[in-house]
Chain A
Amino acid sequence: MIGEKPRGLRAHLPVIYPALMLGIFFVVPFGTMVAVSFFHRQPGAFYLPGFELGNYRALYTALFGRVLVFSLFLAGLSAAVCVSLGFPFTYFITRMQRRAQVVWLVILLSVLSLSEVIIGFARSLLLSRTAGLSNLLVWLGLMDQPASWSPGFMALLLGICYLAFPYTVLVLYPPLSRLDPARPEAALTLGASPLRTFFTVVVGSLRNAIVAAFVMVFVFTLGAYLLPQLLGRPQHWTLSVLITDQAIYQSNMPLSAAMAIFFMAVSLLLVALTMYAGQEKRAAGP
């Protein structure tokens, strides 16, 4: 019964509704956005249908370029931090008893589900002068008086890593939990130290998974929208902020659509390049 070919309308009945829903509410909106990026801006209203490349030409500004580079840099840096911390962390979790694993996963999921707003709020509070970490350090006698550490680049990076860390762990969890425990054990019996085993066997055999996780986290952090506003200064605003700003506050939908499409093209290109590089390395390796 399973795995055969569907025959007739009756067999296709269950798939019609999901296909319609996804088609109307995902494919059409996406197409609309593409179309809008070629429309003419109409002050006062959202847009005027038409076809012009002006919106794309308008992207060629120093501001857009700077924001794009900064967005990619921030996402790349935080993805690197998250993966390098998240990989050993996930490895430890997957080697735990099942019950302990479940507790850690519940904690991670709870933090993951937190809205950017809440994380931004909590972070800015933690780094603030009146209620932050510095008060704790003053109380411990490590500092003379409380200081404010937010907004700033470090605060923003910390916030984004906090946002992306649970996601990183969940992306790394499946490949790591499927790693045959006999493999590191084999390395140990062959005389490799635990640290060496971790780097040569665990990291080595999961290089593809690490590249994939890096890419996923990179794209995920590109989407950060509120944190740059809450924890960063205006020069730290990312493309997501710029796009929303154009769409909502400047009422320039065509321009923001063009930005979004260009943004997506650039990130897809980077993803493809990273994947390609990861595969090359593997092919060249032993």
Chain B
Amino acid sequence: MNKALRYIFLGVVLAIMSGPLVVVCGVSLNAKKRLFFPPEGLSLRWYVELLTQSEWLIPVKNSLTIATSSSCIALSIALPLAYFLWRYRVFYARALFTLGISPFILPPVITALGFLSFWVTTGLYGKMIATMISHAIFFVTLPLVTIALGFESIDPAIVEAAETMGADSRTVFRTVIFPMVRPYMISGYAFAFVLSLNEYIVAYMVAGFTVETLPIKIFNALRYGYTPVMASVTVVFVLLAALIFGLIGRFGDLPKLLGALNPENN
């Protein structure tokens, strides 16, 4: 296709994607407590407020706790399952894999409602542990898919090579398989972490009134009138996500993680 046209198209998409973020960034730097763009006077006071007022600090802490632990649980489910699937090709491993992918593919409100009815029944409705486990299951797809990709990338001859050099199966796992899969585990963890941090509907349905996460807090704040702190939260979130994905892109093989076949040919 025409080169100039292509750049115009890409530029327009970039502008549309970054437009809202530019506005939010501008608003977050406003000096006055009103939402103005372009900003009237520059100040960082809304960032300071985010980090000092307990009204915002508690949701930040909740979100970080939930994201950290739920992605740990998700990883702990995904790693042995992906290993088993790679090591033994049996139908029930495939079935479990499909089960691990479905929470992400169904409309989230359905999964969320399933969790709600489950936690109400078990009496854990409104507890943080419910949010943690729900997020772990909801996002288990991400580490599962990335780690499975990591196992797939191991040439079976590499395992055999280690065997001919004197490694028994436990040593092979410790010295070859695990180190080779580790980058994929880190990526999978990061994906689950970032998405958990931003997730609304499951967290809201499972414990929305008692365990306030950042997205819930922002939405509640939106209902009762705007405050520039919301803009500063947004900026921090975007930067955090960009930083994490940027690190994966820098040290990992992002095109391959997202499904490209021969990244090196490009």
Contacts and interface: CB of A to CB of B under 8 A. Distances in A.
- A and B are interacting partners: yes
A118 B17 contact: no
Interface residues of A, number: 93
B143 to A, nearest CB: 11
Interface in A234-286: 239-240, 243-244, 247-248, 253, 256-257, 260, 263-264, 267
A110 B215 contact: no
Contacts of B2: 194
B259 interface: yes
B20, B120, B194, B222 interface centre (most CB from chain A within 10 Å): B20
B218 A165 contact: no
A130 B231 CA distance: 15
B116 A113 contact: no
Contacts of B89: 3
Given A6-B88, A22-B100, A110-B241, A36 B260 contact: no
Contact of B116 (A35, A131, A240, A247): A247
Contacts of A17: 76-77, 80
A78 interface: no
A178 B260 contact: yes
A111 B234 CA distance: 11
Contact of B201 (A1, A97, A244): A244
A122 B200 contact: no
Interface string A103-139: 1011101110111111111110110101111010001
Contacts of B10: 89, 92
B108 A247 contact: no
B178 interface: no
Interface in B156-212: 156, 159-160, 163, 169, 172, 194-195, 197-201, 204-205, 208
B9 A88 contact: yes
Contacts of A225: 108-109, 200-201
Interface string B209-228: 00000010011001000000
A188 B81 CA distance: 46
Interface string B100-114: 101101111110111
A143 interface: no
Contacts of A6: 84, 87-88, 90
Contacts of A14: 80-81, 83-84
Contacts of B117: 29, 32-33, 35-36, 253, 257
The interface residues of chain A, by DSSP majority, are classed as: helix
Given A131-B36, A264-B106, A247 B205 contact: yes
B139 to A, nearest CB: 11
Given A28-B118, A178-B261, A225-B109, A1 B169 contact: yes
A113 B198 contact: yes
A173 interface: yes
B31 to A, nearest CB: 14
Interface residues of B, number: 103
Nearest to A25: B137
A83 B87 CA distance: 37
Contacts of A107: 14, 17-18, 242
A106 B242 contact: yes
Contacts of B199: 115
Interface in B229-248: 230-231, 233-234, 237-238, 241-242, 245-246, 248
B120 A219 contact: no
A32 B200 CA distance: 22
Interface in B16-39: 16-21, 23-24, 26-27, 34-38
A25 to B, nearest CB: 5
Given A29-B118, A89-B9, A118-B237, A98 B255 contact: yes
A-B pairs with the 8 shortest C-beta distances? A174-B259, A122-B20, A29-B118, A131-B37, A115-B198, A14-B80, A177-B260, A29-B114
Given A17-B77, A244-B205, A256-B113, 11 more contacts: A21-B77, A22-B140, A25-B136, A89-B10, A109-B245, A121-B222, A121-B234, A132-B23, A162-B20, A165-B17, A219-B107
Interface of A: 1-6, 11, 14-15, 17-19, 21-22, 25-30, 32-33, 35-36, 46, 85, 88-89, 92, 94, 96-98, 101-103, 105-107, 109-111, 113-123, 125-126, 128, 130-133, 135, 139, 162, 165-166, 170, 173-174, 177-178, 194-195, 198, 216, 219, 222-223, 225-226, 230, 239-240, 243-244, 247-248, 253, 256-257, 260, 263-264, 267
